[in-house]
A and B are shown apart, each in its own frame.
Chain A
Amino acid sequence: MRRFTPKVVTANALLEGDVIYLTADDRWSRRLEEAEVIEDEAIGQLRLLDAQRQVDRVVGAYLADVTASADGPQPVHFREDFRRKGPSNYAHGKQEGAANV
């Protein structure tokens, strides 16, 4: 059997469109480090449903692959890396600093 790739639940915030992650204590964080890392497929599906139910807060929730590391979950795909960081041509979005955290 193939090993399950760890996942996080991610989406865009309804009001700002910003990339957000579901935490273990049911908050939405703007930082991937704070995301709940899901190690089990069934739990992943349940957490995704929890997220998708919040139609007045989030848009387009899905499960994204991550790898665990000492600094918290790291994106597997470069798209998720860009979503985590923001655009590369300006220090906008998440790169604007603490204000957005």
Chain B
Amino acid sequence: MYKYTEFDTAFLAERNAQFRAQVERRIDGSLTEDEFKPLRLMNGLYLQLHAYMLRVAIPYGTLNSAQMRQLALLAVKWDKGYGHFTTRQNIQYNWPLLRDVPDMLDALAEVGLHAIQTSGNTIRNVTADHFAGAAADELADPRPVAELIRQWSTDHPEFQFLPRKFKIAVTGSPNDRAVTRAHDIGLRMVERDGETGYEVIVGGGLGRTPMIGQVIREFLPRGDLLPYLEAIVSVYNLLGRRDNKYKARIKITVHENGIETIRDLVETRFETLKTAFNGADQALLAQIEPQFAAPDFVAKDTAPYDRAYATDPVFRAWADTNLTAHRQADHAIVSISLKAHGATPGDATADQMRLMADLAAKYAYDELRISHEQNVILPHVARADLPAVHAALKTAGLATANIGLISDIIACPGMDYCALATARSIPIAQEIATHFDALKLEHDIGPLKIKISGCINACGHHHVGHIGILGLDRAGVENYQITLGGDGTEDAVIGERAGPGFAAEDLLPAIERLVRAYLELREGRDETFLDAYRRLGVAPFKAALYPEARDRHAA
């Protein structure tokens, strides 16, 4: 893992001291809210519906056990004993008091964490594949370069006031688990003639105008990455629309100017920057890389795993859904579900965080990851240790066997917390999870991603949900619109709106009709919901959602 240098530590201490002084001046009235707001947002502090919210970055989703314990400490000391993990590999605290925030930031700095650029019109927390460094399908670990991007983008003087927020995601695997195509810039590591480089994708985004990113450069040699990124962001910085907040993201810039124009501008700028960078970035990268070296994997006989798998059906069900192939055959990647049926997606209590930290220290070479799907990952666990890990998770309500299933729902905070929301999302997620658990259908249904946002901003990624749910306010009543067929992987697709929205009380029955229609229509258990949707198109699913319309036509 990346260890802060003296420079990093000093930078963070100074930044925190600045913010402490700003908070004091706000409290004594010498700063107005208008003056203070951009300053607090630069440091991840929002004001939500009922309280402040502090958003802490978990760079490329990687934590060690000491950091996770510190997150737990913050939850106990300055919040209500829990934290909310988000789709952008951040953790949000929902109840801090303004006066306490500087202390929280100092406590985070003790373990090398911060909240810088988790808000505002800056380059945000760089996200990465949560299986980085562990996945069997990986070409290279994307985290060293993600760290390089973090260092380059943090406090980058040219990019503190971009037209709008800017999000970068990196993956080192052909199977895209980082939703790179829905980011302002997505980077996919690729290989060409034995040389590694990046496919650079630009102009993806969700929100009110969802767009799938386009390839601006099919193959960028590794060494050219930072000057090329700087070229993209600087072209956007000049060209991006500052006159209209809704047209300010780079997706609109690309859309309005066309990818060819943007590409030409970027390439021209890149030529200048390439010489200016002068290899300094590569020297830095060379220092960062060894810090992400794989742990010395200890070979262990898998017999305890095999035995538990053969004899314990609860363990087997969990192993079938929550484990992913590791690049070491005698290891596995463990996804810990933060989606117990009926729980708030992404929330973890301080006790749960501490248990996960303990497990990481004992069994996972001291590493944890946060996934954009709001779960926690132990990236490297010897198969022999899995029965013990599972048993420990059970004691803390963390052993739900539902990764990738209908109850593994992404939900944004919605109107329970968010000041921008038009409807709630958490209770909808809770209802769906509890309902399908009670029906005992979840495992039969198989892989199915439901994603819920509480407004058009799409923080819950509903556009790329196989079933997406968008909460709206229709004449003063919560109303939920369904989209179908979205996909956030390497084959990214924006879901299609199914039709008129549903009142809150009609939504669950509608989802059930939809899912039952799929079960009827599928060719077998191997055909997932998304496969069936792609084979059959929207019509039969629409018919299930809106039986009245079908009956009217038939009449």
Contact = CB atoms under 8 A, between A and B. Distances in A.
Interface of A: 12, 14-19, 55-56, 59-60, 76-79, 82-83, 86-90, 92-94
Interface stretch (B49-57, B278-286, B351-359): B49-57
Contacts of B52: 16-17
Contact of B97 (A15, A19, A82): A15
B33 A17 contact: no
Contacts of B26: 14
B478 A78 contact: yes
25 contacts: A15-B97, A15-B98, A16-B51, A16-B97, A16-B98, A17-B52, A17-B98, A55-B32, A56-B29, A60-B33, A77-B476, A79-B473, A82-B415, A83-B49, A86-B50, A87-B50, A87-B94, A87-B416, A87-B417, A88-B426, A88-B427, A90-B80, A92-B50, A92-B95, A93-B51
Nearest to B32: A55
A12 B421 CA distance: 17
Nearest to B478: A78
A82 B416 contact: yes
Contact of A18 (B50, B80, B426, B427): B50
A20 B477 CA distance: 24
Contacts of B421: 79
Interface in B13-34: 26-29, 32-33
Contacts, number: 74
B477 A59 contact: no
B29 A12 contact: no
A94 B416 contact: no
A93 B476 CA distance: 24
Interface in B474-495: 476-478
Given A14-B27, A82-B424, 12 more contacts: A17-B51, A17-B98, A18-B51, A59-B47, A78-B476, A79-B415, A82-B416, A87-B94, A88-B426, A90-B344, A92-B80, A93-B50
A83 B99 contact: no
A89 B94 CA distance: 12
A92 B463 CA distance: 31
Contacts of B33: 55, 59-60
- Chain A interface, DSSP helix/strand/loop, else mixed: loop
Contacts of A19: 49-50
Contacts of A77: 476
A16 B100 CA distance: 10
A89 B27 contact: no
A17 B100 CA distance: 12
A88 B50 CA distance: 12
B430 interface: yes
8 tightest CB-CB pairs across the interface, nearest first?
A56-B29, A87-B416, A17-B51, A17-B52, A93-B50, A89-B344, A89-B426, A55-B32
Nearest to A61: B33
A59 B36 CA distance: 11
A56 B49 contact: no
A40 B98 CA distance: 35
Nearest to A14: B98
Contacts of A16: 51-52, 97-98
A88 B95 CA distance: 15
B27 A60 contact: no
B348 to A, nearest CB: 13
A50 B263 CA distance: 53
A93 B416 CA distance: 11
A16 B78 CA distance: 12
B154 interface: no
B53 to A, nearest CB: 8
Contacts of A78: 415, 473, 476-478
A69 to B, nearest CB: 17
Interface in B343-386: 344
Given A17-B48, A17-B50, A55 B29 contact: yes
Interface in B90-106: 94-95, 97-99
B476 A15 contact: no
Nearest to A79: B415
Given A82-B416, A88-B424, A88-B427, A76 B476 contact: yes
Nearest to A94: B50
Contacts of A92: 50, 80, 94-95
B43 to A, nearest CB: 15
Contacts of B417: 87
A17 B98 CA distance: 8
Contacts of A79: 415, 421, 473
Interface string B31-67: 0110000000000000111111000000000000000
Contacts of A12: 47
Contacts of A86: 50
Contact of B49 (A55, A59, A82, A89): A82
Contacts of A82: 49, 415-416, 424
Contacts of A18: 50-51
A88 B428 CA distance: 11
Contacts of B51: 16-18, 93
